[in-house]
Structure 1
Amino acid sequence: MKDIIQDRLSRMEDLEQRKILKQLMTSMFNGVVDYQEKMNRELEQRIFGELGDNDDKNDIFVTVCAREDIDPIHDFLYPMLPGDARQPEIPLHDIIAGLSRKQECKLLTVFMECSYPELNELLARRRIFQGKMETNRGSYAISARVERSQTYTGEIERLYDVFQKNGIAWKTLNHPYAYKFIDLVLTGSDRIPEEDEEILEISVDLERYERFKKPDIVPLWNIERLEIRNSGFPVPAADRINYEHVLSLRKTGAGHGYLVDGDEQDVRYIKRSAEDLTVVSPKEASGVWSVWKLTQPIMSQVGKLDYPLFSNRKREGFIGKYARQHSVAVRAVSELMRLVHSFEAAEALELASAEVDGKPLGRSGQTYGMNPFISDNIRSESGKKRLKLTFRKRGAAQAGADFVLNDVMSFMVSEIQMHFPEYSCEGEWA
């Protein structure tokens, strides 16, 4: 508006009239324009502020690294299981007990650096592999089978339960590495070792799958487990039944996400303010609370990683936040496109097409559900139509991430499944 006024003034040939009009505009009209622009900015900030939330503070970042490379003072990456920082010990008495009773016994959990179809092929064979167990008394010939490990997928389910306790909406966890761990299960040995022997090494030859085996790989995520004590004494809550326990976040950082992990009978609900976490609980005594800190990284300071870093973070603008505030499902391919490409993980692939048909789920094993712990007690699986989602690989895939592309596609399909529960979603490559 000011530019228009200046343009009109410059076109006036009568200098006296130009002077009078300029004084008039400067004294009155410019103030009106400035006030209007200020009100427009405040309205815009108010709209964006109402749509803003702390959802981005609850994003999960994941990767894997060798056990010996775990940094105990890393800025934001921590082992999924705190005990993974130490070399795992195999209790000999469990092996002896299992062999004596002719029962199976878990030996090791190893990482398989292969695609999901290749891993499925290994697990479907149900083969017995040969290996050896070295002790301080000699070598034993052993036999073992493989099965899908539930060690780290179980931690994801536990994280889901913590999200539910804190009243925070669940977003599918994009952890492609957690589904690539297998357990080596002892099925037999040429003889039973003695109680006083010490295990030095256990190895199992997976034959043509041996090249994929990485025994000392540990999954990492940005969740730090803390113990935080009340700041001050609990005060009665508004209902005059429970008590408010205030946990200060000044020392640990207010710019991160926080989840309280406690028994359901001890936690009624949690309130989050700028620098505090308030736990409403029937407990009237002060105590120490188990808190999961979702550390948000500064991407420019991540540094070099041996394996690509993945997350379930979204790149949402105004439209994305507005759509999330109003839970009206739009049954259109364009909505599926918007949902898929709102994730940072979409840099590795793109949704090419979506088709609804009455065919049963395919047996190709290209995708799998990443939220098996979320049950639908309303709809029957047998009555659902199949929603076939066809993806296309992008050239911008991260270096070294080819073997997890099926898992990233499974993440996308699992997130779409949550938004379209009336269909059985399945993904495949174009």
Structure 2
Amino acid sequence: MKDIIRDRLNKMEDLEQRRMLKDVMTGLFLNLVEYQETLNRQIEERVFNELEPEEVRHDVYASLCPREELDPLHEFLYPMVPGDSEPQFINLAEVAAALSKQEEMKLCTLFLQCDTSQIRSLARSKRQFKGEMITSGGRYEITVRLKQSSVYTGRIEELYRIFRKNSLPWKTVHIPYAYKFMDCILISCASEWDNQETVKQISIQLEELEPYKHMNLVPIWNIQRMEMKIGGFPVPAADRVNYEHVLPLRRTGTEHGYLVDGEEANIRYIKRSEEEITVVSPLDKSDSWTMLKVTRPMNSGIGRMHYPLLSNRRQEGYIGRYIRQAGSPVRSKGGIARLTGAFEVSREVELEDVKILPPGQEIPLTYELNSFVSDQVRVQTDKYRMRLLFRAVARDRSLAGSYLSDDVLSFLVSEVQLIFPEYRCEGAWV
């Protein structure tokens, strides 16, 4: 409307009439137009907020940070494993005992900034590398092999179990950093040490992989484990068998997401409202419950990210939210394209084609992120393959062509796999 008024004013040749009409429009009509636009915007936001699903509060964000730069007061990021914030200690007596029994002994964990194919090839090769362990008593030559670490991927699987306890729908978590950590397993040592010595430093020479090696990196995410006290005492539930434990959220923030963690036998079901969570449990006494707080990200403008902040957050419009909330099944290539294009990380890739192929044994480019989601109904062998072909787009080049490109495809394909369990989904570049 403002453009129409401006166009009409510019076409008036009489400057005096133009001035008078401009004064009238500016003093009265434009205020009405701005008021109407404000109301329209408020109605639009209200409709969008009504369709905003609860799962938005449980979006998972993750990044990497050097151990020495971990901020214990960060606004929303915490170590995936709380013990990572402490200096790592190696007990040489335990190492010696493991060597004598020919058992696996992890010395340290390192991060390889490589793509998926390099990590996979290294894990299959079982190569051995030379290194050095510096202690308070001297230097010792050691031989190690690398094994893909399960510490951080295990945390993702644990998160899935907690989602199930809370009866919340699972959405694939996009933390590619967790799959690039390697455990250094000690194979042998050139000489014996005194078990009373303390380890000062461990260095591993990875030959051609040396430029990709990073020590003392810690994966961080927006999930914090905490103990939350109940507000008052447990009261009998409506069934007169269980008890309601009310957990107020005002003090910790109602804008965040919360997951109740505990013994599955002690949780019948969970009720949620804007300001509290009610756990219905057979327990008649409980002072507090273990909670996972999924913190909503915020930008203070002070800290900086050493590695890209990645998430499984969707950025879809009104139609996408409406279709997903209505539970409409995906039956076409367009539906799959809408699904894969709804995430923040999909801004650099675009679905080109979908092909259905007969069963095969070839190893795909992508890997499964939800391998812990069991399917006890369908037979896993002899499944037809759904190959999703993607192409890179030039909207944002921060990840395109980097060591994380294949991980982005794996995330999108794993999300499609949840929708089509009757196929074995795999991704590839065009």
TM-score range, shorter chain: 0.7 to 0.9
Once the two structures are TM-superposed, the CA of residue 244 in structure 1 deviates from its matched residue by 0.6
Q: Which residue of 1 aligns with 2:17?
A: none
Once the two structures are superposed, residues 375-427 of structure 1 have per-residue CA deviations (whole angstroms, 9 ceiling, x without a partner) of 11111122311111111122234536711111111000000000111111010
* Residues 1-80 of structure 1 mapped to structure 2, 5 A cutoff: 51-80=51-80
Q: Which residue of 2 aligns with 1:379?
A: 378
**What is the rounded CA distance, in whole Å, between the counterparts of 1:322 and 1:107 in structure 2?**
51
Q: AA paired with 2:387? A: K
Q: AA paired with 2:369? A: M
Q: Which residue of 2 aligns with 1:22?
A: none
Distance 1:347 1:171, change over 3 A: same
Distance 1:286 1:191, change over 3 A: same
| Contact map agreement 1:390 1:429 (CA 8 A) in 2 | yes
Distance 1:46 1:210, change over 3 A: closer
* Residues 222-237 of structure 1 mapped to structure 2, 5 A cutoff: 222-237=222-237
Residue 316 of structure 2 is aligned to residue 341 of structure 1? no
Residue 242 of structure 2 is aligned to residue 242 of structure 1? yes
| Contact map agreement 1:361 1:426 (CA 8 A) in 2 | no
**What is the rounded CA distance, in whole Å, between the counterparts of 2:408 and 2:324 in structure 1?**
22
Runs in 1 of length 4+ with deviation above 6 angstroms? Answer: 40-47
**What is the rounded CA distance, in whole Å, between the counterparts of 1:110 and 1:269 in structure 2?**
40
Higher deviation after alignment, 369-378 or 99-108? 99-108
* Residues 262-411 of structure 1 mapped to structure 2, 5 A cutoff: 262-298=262-298, 301=301, 303-363=303-363, 365-397=364-396, 399=398, 402-411=402-411
Once the two structures are superposed, residues 87-120 of structure 1 have per-residue CA deviations (whole angstroms, 9 ceiling, x without a partner) of 2111212211012223331111111111111112
Q: Report SS of the residue matched to 1:225.
A: strand
Once the two structures are TM-superposed, the CA of residue 51 in structure 1 deviates from its matched residue by 3.8
**What is the rounded CA distance, in whole Å, between the counterparts of 2:381 and 2:222 in structure 1?**
38
**What is the rounded CA distance, in whole Å, between the counterparts of 2:74 and 2:284 in structure 1?**
36
* Residues 77-92 of structure 1 mapped to structure 2, 5 A cutoff: 77-92=77-92
Once the two structures are TM-superposed, the CA of residue 324 in structure 1 deviates from its matched residue by 2.1
* Residues 189-204 of structure 1 mapped to structure 2, 5 A cutoff: 189-204=189-204
**What is the rounded CA distance, in whole Å, between the counterparts of 2:316 and 2:43 in structure 1?**
20
Q: Which residue of 2 aligns with 1:27?
A: none
**What is the rounded CA distance, in whole Å, between the counterparts of 2:217 and 2:186 in structure 1?**
21
**What is the rounded CA distance, in whole Å, between the counterparts of 1:226 and 1:64 in structure 2?**
22
Unaligned stretches of 5+ residues in structure 1? 1-39
Q: Report SS of the residue matched to 2:265.
A: coil
Q: Which residue of 2 aligns with 1:110?
A: 110
**What is the rounded CA distance, in whole Å, between the counterparts of 1:43 and 1:127 in structure 2?**
62
Q: Report SS of the residue matched to 1:325.
A: helix
Once the two structures are superposed, residues 51-73 of structure 1 have per-residue CA deviations (whole angstroms, 9 ceiling, x without a partner) of 44311101001111111111110
Distance 1:359 1:286, change over 3 A: closer
**What is the rounded CA distance, in whole Å, between the counterparts of 1:60 and 1:369 in structure 2?**
18
Q: AA paired with 1:58? A: H
Q: Report SS of the residue matched to 1:73.
A: coil
Once the two structures are TM-superposed, the CA of residue 327 in structure 1 deviates from its matched residue by 3.0
Once the two structures are superposed, residues 320-356 of structure 1 have per-residue CA deviations (whole angstroms, 9 ceiling, x without a partner) of 2222233342321000100011111111211111111
Distance 1:50 1:296, change over 3 A: closer
Once the two structures are TM-superposed, the CA of residue 208 in structure 1 deviates from its matched residue by 0.7
Q: Report SS of the residue matched to 1:381.
A: coil
Q: TM-score, normalised by structure 1?
A: 0.86
Unaligned stretches of 5+ residues in structure 2? 1-39
Q: Report SS of the residue matched to 1:131.
A: strand
Q: Which residue of 1 aligns with 2:37?
A: none
Higher deviation after alignment, 393-402 or 62-71? 393-402
**What is the rounded CA distance, in whole Å, between the counterparts of 1:77 and 1:362 in structure 2?**
39
Q: AA paired with 1:206? A: L
**What is the rounded CA distance, in whole Å, between the counterparts of 1:345 and 1:221 in structure 2?**
16
Q: Report SS of the residue matched to 1:188.
A: strand
**What is the rounded CA distance, in whole Å, between the counterparts of 2:218 and 2:73 in structure 1?**
16
**What is the rounded CA distance, in whole Å, between the counterparts of 2:84 and 2:152 in structure 1?**
11
Q: TM-score, normalised by structure 2?
A: 0.86
* Residues 130-145 of structure 1 mapped to structure 2, 5 A cutoff: 130-145=130-145
Higher deviation after alignment, 292-301 or 107-116? 292-301
Q: Which residue of 1 aligns with 2:162?
A: 162
**What is the rounded CA distance, in whole Å, between the counterparts of 1:176 and 1:355 in structure 2?**
26
CA RMSD of aligned residues (A): 2.1
**What is the rounded CA distance, in whole Å, between the counterparts of 1:197 and 1:51 in structure 2?**
61
Once the two structures are TM-superposed, the CA of residue 43 in structure 1 deviates from its matched residue by 10
Once the two structures are TM-superposed, the CA of residue 47 in structure 1 deviates from its matched residue by 6.9
**What is the rounded CA distance, in whole Å, between the counterparts of 2:220 and 2:397 in structure 1?**
18
Once the two structures are TM-superposed, the CA of residue 46 in structure 1 deviates from its matched residue by 8.8
Number of equivalent positions: 390
Q: Report SS of the residue matched to 1:265.
A: helix
| Contact map agreement 2:348 2:399 (CA 8 A) in 1 | no
Once the two structures are TM-superposed, the CA of residue 49 in structure 1 deviates from its matched residue by 6.4
| Contact map agreement 2:359 2:382 (CA 8 A) in 1 | no
**What is the rounded CA distance, in whole Å, between the counterparts of 2:249 and 2:419 in structure 1?**
34
**What is the rounded CA distance, in whole Å, between the counterparts of 1:188 and 1:87 in structure 2?**
24
| Contact map agreement 2:348 2:396 (CA 8 A) in 1 | yes
Once the two structures are TM-superposed, the CA of residue 224 in structure 1 deviates from its matched residue by 1.2
Give the share of equivalent positions with the same residue, in percent.
Answer: 45
Q: Report SS of the residue matched to 1:88.
A: coil
| Contact map agreement 2:399 2:405 (CA 8 A) in 1 | no
Once the two structures are TM-superposed, the CA of residue 141 in structure 1 deviates from its matched residue by 1.4
| Contact map agreement 2:76 2:298 (CA 8 A) in 1 | no
**What is the rounded CA distance, in whole Å, between the counterparts of 2:46 and 2:397 in structure 1?**
38
Q: Which residue of 1 aligns with 2:215?
A: 215
Distance 1:46 1:133, change over 3 A: closer
Once the two structures are TM-superposed, the CA of residue 121 in structure 1 deviates from its matched residue by 2.0
Once the two structures are TM-superposed, the CA of residue 130 in structure 1 deviates from its matched residue by 1.0
Once the two structures are TM-superposed, the CA of residue 131 in structure 1 deviates from its matched residue by 1.0
